Amino acid sequence: MKQDIREYVLSLGIDDVGITAASDYVSPRSPKLETISPDIKSIIVLAFKELSSCAGSDKDTAMSGRQDLIEFARSSNYKVARYLERNYRAKTFTVPVSVPFAMVKETGGAVGQVSLRHAARAAGLGVFGRHNLIIHPRFGTRVLFSAVLTDLDLPSDPPLTDELCNDCNICVKSCPAGALDEEGKTAVTKCFKTCQPYGLGSNIAFWKKVLDASPDEQQRMMGSVDYWRLYQSILVGNQYYCFDCLAVCPIGTEI
């Protein structure tokens, strides 16, 4: 069954796939998988290589490439889930690349129901690097994940044991926010402010200013580029404007 699933996934043009039994998925800060469903027995993790535009200087174009990947990942999740439901009468639950996920107050809205990095590691797709991202043996860090959770009982793929990070520290030095200075921990607020300049925080700050402003000032703010960019970000979800830690890492044979 595993081989059949793997072949189907790869036939969709997805770059790589790994499978882990739910019992081998360990992510201490994430909720238990049972909170999604007590039936979940395994996780099928799909890997998508980032386009080379992620390393370009035009961040709107980089984000556009990311949007393309996100759309492909969403439709891939749906196709894989349908395949499992149709051919194996499986129950399925899809995990997207990023949003939507539960944004609860206690975690500052920064912990998803499933940690795709921990799932990818358990599924043998890569190992953590100094930048706290997963390094894939072929794609390096330029890889994103989505997943399909299922009640099918699938054994785990062998975990990768090679150490891929060479401790060159380029990612740490390149981070414009200094968010990677402390080993093993991403400073979430620092990263968030830099990589999502039109994200939730900026949105709240903008509207607070509008509420406090005079009618003339409010008029001016509506015509500002800041507002246009916030609007576009909400409209099409172009969230990320920093890809540096992901793009500068030299590891990966297919870069």
Q: With contact defined as beta carbons under 8 Å apart, do 245 and 175 qualify?
A: yes
Select 45 or 84, whichever has its Cβ closest to ligand B12.
45
| Residue 49 and residue 142 in contact, taking contact as beta carbons nearer than 8 Å | yes
220 lines the binding site for ligand B12 (CB under 6 A): no
Q: Is the Cβ–Cβ distance between 160 and 125 less than 8 Å?
A: yes
Does position 33 interact with ligand SF4 (CB under 6 A)? The reply is no
In the 3-class helix/strand/coil scheme, how is the chain assigned residue by residue?
Answer: CHHHHHHHHHHCCCCEEEEEEHHHCCCCCCCCHHHCCCCCCEEEEEEEECCHHHHCCCHHHHHHHHHHHHHHHHHHHHHHHHHHHHHHCCCEEEECCCCCCCCCHHHCCCCCCCCHHHHHHHCCCCEECCCCCEEECCCECCEEEEEEEECCCCCCCCCCCCCCCCCCCHHHHHCCCCCCCCCCCCCHHHHHHHHCCCCHHHHHHHHHHHHHCCHHHHHHHHCCHHHHHHHHHHHHCCCCCCCHHHHHCCCCCCC
By a kind-dependent CB cut-off of 5 to 8 A, residue 112 interacts, out of ligand SF4, ligand B12, none, with ligand B12
Q: Which span (35-43, 86-94, 124-132, 218-226) binds ligand B12, by CB under 6 A?
A: 124-132
Stretch that binds ligand B12, among 5-13, 85-93, 144-152, 216-224 (CB under 6 A): 144-152
Window 187-216: residues binding ligand B12 (CB under 6 A): 188, 191-192, 195
The correct pick among 167, 183, 212, 216 for binding ligand SF4 (CB under 6 A) is: 167
Minimum CB distance to ligand SF4, residue 65 (Å): 15
Residue closer to ligand SF4, measured from CB, 38 or 178: 178
**Smallest separation (angstroms) from ligand B12 to the CB of 214:** 34
d(CA 64, CA 241): 10
Q: Considering only residues 18, 112, 124, 129, which one is a binding residue for ligand SF4 as defined by CB under 6 A?
A: 129
Binding status of residue 93 toward ligand B12 by CB under 6 A: no
Among 131, 160, 177, 230, binds ligand B12 (CB under 6 A): 131
**Of the two residues 25 and 240, which places its CB atom closer to ligand B12 in the complex?**
240
Footprint of ligand B12 on residues 16-55 (CB under 6 A)? Answer: 27, 29-30
Partner from ligand B12, ligand SF4, none binding residue 47, C-beta < 5-8 Å depending on class: none
Selected binder of ligand SF4 within 95, 195, 230, 238 (CB under 6 A): 195
For the segment 226-255, give every residue that binds ligand SF4 (CB under 6 A). 242, 244-245, 248-249, 251
